[in-house]
Structure 1
């Protein structure tokens, strides 16, 4: 039997059972799951294998590409600058990045970048994935573009360029590339084993992502839509995450590497009203900005019904019925990984795995674990 390691507090034994069920069935290959409540790791599990052939065990320090969970960390970077009084989410982006005002974008505000409502959700054609690896040059191109819809009127998921847009603000304000800012001001102070992009020293412990059986084909989309322009600006496949070029890049939208424990350590201060083991990390008023709803409707790019706050999605039972209502912020990574920040319960849930499912957001596995966690706390009415 595939080994599952780690600890759970007695109340959460059903969560261990749920993970073991998924490993036993073969649905999971390698997995890590963490739950933090008020600074206590009530669930800290890892197990399975790093490879599809199931020959290399998933260790405690195994890390993998977490796809769009990276955006939750990039959003936190922006909130830290807000907290320091250096960034105003209601100010025009052009206050900090003058070139962004070009072609009708002078009224686009920082909050629009953070809520995927800016109208700039990718690169104009021609666009190759390699173009995104030159972060400054790609950001310059984005600044010069026309918006693809009226900014602020709807969300259009910023699939691969979220880190370029938010990261450019970080760079303009601090002089640091996003990856360096995250390392110096988030991961290192919180003791989290997380980085955007990888160094050579980390490669040996990385679990490759295992792509879903059917990769997404954007050519099937209506070519006149924001969805088509986004998914072809540029096109990419899941296998790109296993390449050296992807791993070396500074992609604050999608190439963060870590495990569930690392993500929980980074996001838990939000759930705990800004408190961390090392002192106050964020002011409560800054955290409150997350819940300023920016859009509520069908996303123009991914087609999901979403409620976006500032930097994070907010509960919407029409899309994910297994996340309860309340002061909860969340987002997930392509293939099923999830990060859920529950302020009502001072709880952070983080799930990271290597075998991707076909889902855009969440998965049956993520639903099973999340439901087991909430049921252990006495929260019912989840499917």
Structure 2
């Protein structure tokens, strides 16, 4: 990629982490960054909080300290946090059948499928078998009813297969059956509101002026994306392209208003880092912990490594999902500690937590890269954080 001019970088960075500032700058110079922000919390305190570039493709709006952006699947960490909070309160048993909370889910041989399989992408419900439009995806009742009636693509519990969009409806409907609230409301009232975390599932209309415009790279317009998707095996096609979505959809008021707990989160890097820091538990959250130590440890309880049935080709090694988050593992996706964990978002965003290091990271951007995971911009930032001497496992 040709070098480009580097915009002014705002924010602060402790001297020890100047390498992170250098990597952030290099993302603009040689990795095609348009607008972005990165926050690093160490023992709950900000040691890096940087932002720069442009919030729109036309480069008319600078990226500001409070610019929000859709982070796609980085949202899943927030949804998982809601489920773990309910489990910690004794309201959700992760080993109980989903049907104990959602009786209609027992259809098509799923009566005994436990909640933990939903969190770990092992439920076999990576996508719907029937065509499902974007407008139908915005219909919570329709989408959850279809998932309840659907037979698994594989024997639940035997393999993981990334539930790209269905994860949010599956875990989210369990949250709704227990609390009477959709995940967006539960997250707002129980987590982000009380703690002042700048993150939401869906974007309130009053916040639209803060939202960055998502931009696909020139090499991946919608038509090319659709052509590539058509070559996927059936289960991956169902997971990633039923319906097929992209930046143009995510910039619309309809997407921003929808309840999409797998992909519809909007936040700042600061908000992402704070949310993922909560998943560490009480030891490193600057007094803002929600989860007990046992509950936080349960988040990264590995559910079995394998070559993922949907995303397997994107990784060098087998991957393992904990209860809602991916473990760093041999791929080093979230740093050198194999038990660190996090989640990438379509296009490049990331949330990361490393309990041994007392570390959480949030990275958000609006220029969507072509990597399905481990975007080079994200990896450069993570490498720079650990190069500063952060202790991991």
Structure-to-structure mapping, 1:126-275, within 5 angstroms: 126-212=131-217, 213-214=219-220, 215=222, 216=225, 217-222=228-233, 225-273=234-282
**The 10-residue stretch of structure 1 (341-350 or 291-300) with the greater mean CA deviation from structure 2:** 291-300
Shift of 1:89: 0.8
Structure 1: gaps of 5 or more residues: none
1:252–1:322 distance in 2 versus 1, CA, 3 Å: closer
**d(CA) in 1 for partners of 2:119 and 2:31?**
37
1:58–1:321 distance in 2 versus 1, CA, 3 Å: closer
- The 8 Å contact of residues 123 and 234 in structure 1, kept in 2 or not, is answered as no
Shift of 1:2: 1.0
**d(CA) in 2 for partners of 1:230 and 1:95?**
26
**The 10-residue stretch of structure 1 (61-70 or 268-277) with the greater mean CA deviation from structure 2:** 268-277
Aligned positions, number: 377
Q: Which residue of 1 aligns with 2:3?
A: none
Structure 2: gaps of 5 or more residues: 1-5
Q: Which residue of 1 aligns with 2:336?
A: 324
**d(CA) in 2 for partners of 1:272 and 1:128?**
39
Q: Which residue of 2 aligns with 1:345?
A: 357
The reply on whether 1:105 has 2:117 as its aligned counterpart is no
Structure-to-structure mapping, 1:44-63, within 5 angstroms: 44-63=49-68
- The 8 Å contact of residues 322 and 371 in structure 1, kept in 2 or not, is answered as no
**d(CA) in 2 for partners of 1:281 and 1:229?**
35
Please, what TM-score do these two structures have when normalized by structure 1? 0.94
1:64–1:321 distance in 2 versus 1, CA, 3 Å: closer
- The 8 Å contact of residues 176 and 183 in structure 2, kept in 1 or not, is answered as yes
- The 8 Å contact of residues 127 and 232 in structure 1, kept in 2 or not, is answered as no
Q: Which residue of 1 aligns with 2:24?
A: 19
Helix, strand or coil at the partner of 1:7 = strand
**d(CA) in 1 for partners of 2:108 and 2:334?**
41
Structure-to-structure mapping, 1:360-371, within 5 angstroms: 360-371=372-383
**d(CA) in 1 for partners of 2:378 and 2:294?**
30
| Residue-by-residue CA offset, 1:345-368 (whole Å, 9 max, x unaligned) | 110011111111101112111111
**The one of 314, 333, 340 aligned to 2:345:** 333
Shift of 1:327: 3.1
Structure with the larger strand share: 1
Aligned-residue Cα RMSD (Å) equals 1.7
Please, what TM-score do these two structures have when normalized by structure 2? 0.92
**The 10-residue stretch of structure 1 (69-78 or 309-318) with the greater mean CA deviation from structure 2:** 309-318
